[in-house]
Structure 1
């Protein structure tokens, strides 16, 4: 893609014919890309891709017969064909260091408890307790997830679907939510990142972005602790435009909460795109039982993760529920009901 090429080898100044004739920029190029362009060794054009038209840098066809490969030079075509035919794909990043995985976070499927509480609140018409200390998941995100799973329409629970959901074993219920999340076009992780505010009428493609990241995560060995910062850096280096059509970093209006400065341009990749990767791994994937997390310091931010399920396919190897559902329920004569929290 042209955006990736330009970041590595420099931009080409946008100059019209008149200015080009006057200033003769080809005599003083500002980048390697511009040098190649004015020597007719490089071209740029839009080509169709599965995500729509995208601009690419390419070698003109009439130059290809003139490019003679030395017998000692590597056969890149053979290398690519070998990689394409290989079943193994190199994982991005590296295994977590002992320090990064020093403090594992206890696994938890509390998402089901909060989802059930929210369904009950909506059914009773109660105001949602958004700031309750017993809620581990933001109510707005829970609402989006239940809507994605078609358990609610707007804020109205769908009785038959909710009944089936509540009757499921915890493992099956979590798997159902995970499947709905994976294929959702409306659950928009980018607009859920804490501390970021998205403004304007621009749109992104959460489903395509989610699948792109899940495919990258699928190359990581299961049940092995992996460095989260290293994975994010590797994505930035190898596949930075995973959510940006044609490498466009200027048309989305995103800012930090409390700031009026928009995070536009590739220089803000870590604050937006990198933050999205962190959020997806430590948020939805963790809540849905697909990853474990660990931190370098007790109570600190996650610095390592471990894939616990087949993130690129069906949820066939979810871990069993970590809670015992056989606790006692006590009802007293004054109508007080006591239930052990799972």
Structure 2
């Protein structure tokens, strides 16, 4: 921004006279530029600024500190909410009102003190009226920033009920990956799902979900699977990607950090569309969910971690500190948004609590809780949370550059698992996600909290064999995760079950039958088709693997052979 000399040089004589009176600087006779230069030199003299600020009201000190915190320039509409506007007075009105002696508000107090100035400029995504501190005054004022470092939010009494999600979101991403590996999940939507497969949107994990079975949370989980690049499309069927295996091997906090960043920086995930109390008539509204989230998280990061805070008090602080977190241009009138319950249009800053406040509440009580950034507290029989607490995990994620706690950065080994004689396996969930992902290739998940419980059954081993996992591999894996403490009875059972496999074979296939032998010969000799055919049953019949059926159908039609389809 401009320096003090240029700012004063643009002021009319009556305004220079007002500022000089506040600073107690006699002005010389002469050209306006000489007068402005004289006043600027006096204001920049040693200790002059300290003397001038000595009589500031506490509210003016807070406003000045807020502008300093913003880098010396802030949008006017954001300041007006808490500190009032500045009247536009002509020479006669200025002489009559004497605003330097009787300011109408906090901003007027600073404006006629000559420490803030008005201009039109771009700040972030906003262009319009701003208030700024001249750059040669800004450095001496930096100490004021510390006065607003922590948000003034009222603490809440200890809640009677607490919702703590912890690492449940990561655990449920694991559950999705296990289920996708086990079954045929279509890469297409429900309307184009192939026969014998299910759509990802319809996948029901039932009791396997560790966290809340909430529709919005399930949508977020599916979104994160894509954002984290954990899935790949193999012939229209979803499979865990190579990236998924690397992700599962990450230490717990690194994995949690990746989930948080995937949510935070997602341009297509917008909580505003999911606030149940809001309905938008005009879908052309211009919002940037990344900017809105970033602004909200910056304010939330100022809250003390580990303390129960009143949610209503945080909303008051947010309205004071960053009312425009959702609409940086300060335009509260152009959206066509209704109250979903009453149908009332929510227009103007008077509706801030019902729009911005509702969005902040929804983000805290849904996404940030599911991400483990906050815990929620309830009082008595309250249906809605009244308090929240930033978790240790959350306090490391909220900064613009999320950190990894030193203790977790240096420790990523998994504690040993335990295998019982009844084929039950227990394993700590700490830093063991990849091992548990492998474990579910041949064992059934039963339950978990801080420890996960699995059971090896004849059916789970049979499924493993069909997926290419042999009992010798299972035995070696169990020896590794238990530090070679597998009961002999378990080894004998696995060996006995392994002997049952392969005595008979059932195979799903498509039957191709032709009208005559020449037609079958024509098909087999075609360079693009012959490799799609399987075992020959007769001169006019052969088997085709299900995964090759669609490609074979396309190739036959290209050859001029239109097959009859029979279910």
Q: TM-score, normalised by structure 2?
A: 0.44
The partner residue of 2:275 within 182, 193, 197 is 193
The partner residue of 1:94 within 136, 154, 166 is 154
Work out whether 1:253 is the aligned partner of 2:336. yes
Residue 327 of structure 1 aligns to a residue in which SS?
strand
Distance in 1, Cα, partners of 2:228 & 2:169: 14
Per-residue CA distance 1:12-59 (angstroms, 9 max, x = gap): 99xxxxxxxxxxxxxxxxxx79xx9xxxxx997531212241323689
- Structure 2: gaps spanning 5 or more residues: 1-74, 89-103, 109-115, 187-197, 208-212, 409-428, 431-447, 464-567
Q: Bigger CA drift: 151-160 or 243-252?
A: 151-160
The equivalent of 1:66 in structure 2 is none
The partner residue of 2:143 within 59, 74, 82 is 82
Distance in 1, Cα, partners of 2:449 & 2:226: 26
> What is the Cα deviation at residue 297 of structure 1?
2.3
> What is the Cα deviation at residue 174 of structure 1?
2.5
Higher Rg of the two aligned structures: 2
Residue 48 of structure 1 aligns to a residue in which SS?
strand
The partner residue of 1:48 within 114, 117, 122 is 122
Per-residue CA distance 1:179-232 (angstroms, 9 max, x = gap): 222333332222232343344122212222222222212222221111111011
Residue 112 to residue 336, structure 1, CA distance change in 2 (3 Å): farther
Residue 185 of structure 1 aligns to a residue in which SS?
coil
Q: Is the Cα–Cα contact under 8 Å of residues 148 and 187 in structure 1 kept in the other structure?
A: no
The equivalent of 2:167 in structure 1 is 109
Q: Bigger CA drift: 309-318 or 89-98?
A: 309-318
Distance in 1, Cα, partners of 2:252 & 2:455: 18
> What is the Cα deviation at residue 157 of structure 1?
5.8
> What is the Cα deviation at residue 175 of structure 1?
2.7
User: Which structure shows the higher helix fraction?
Assistant: 2
- Structure 1: gaps spanning 5 or more residues: 14-31, 37-41, 62-75, 338-342
Greater relative contact order, per chain length (Cα 8 Å cut-off, separation 6+): 1
Residue 115 of structure 1 aligns to a residue in which SS?
helix
Q: Is the Cα–Cα contact under 8 Å of residues 151 and 317 in structure 2 kept in the other structure?
A: no
Following superposition of structure 1 onto structure 2, how do residues 97-176 of structure 1 map, counting pairs within 5 Å?
A: 97-98=157-158, 101-119=159-177, 120=179, 124-125=185-186, 126-127=198-199, 128-129=201-202, 135-136=213-214, 138=216, 139-152=218-231, 159-168=241-250, 170-176=252-258
> What is the Cα deviation at residue 80 of structure 1?
4.2
Residue 386 of structure 2 aligns to a residue in which SS?
strand
RMSD, aligned CA: 4.2
Distance in 2, Cα, partners of 1:82 & 1:254: 42
Residue 194 to residue 108, structure 1, CA distance change in 2 (3 Å): farther
The equivalent of 2:54 in structure 1 is none
Per-residue CA distance 1:47-78 (angstroms, 9 max, x = gap): 1212241323689x9xxxxxxxxxxxxxx989
The equivalent of 1:324 in structure 2 is 450
Distance in 1, Cα, partners of 2:157 & 2:460: 55
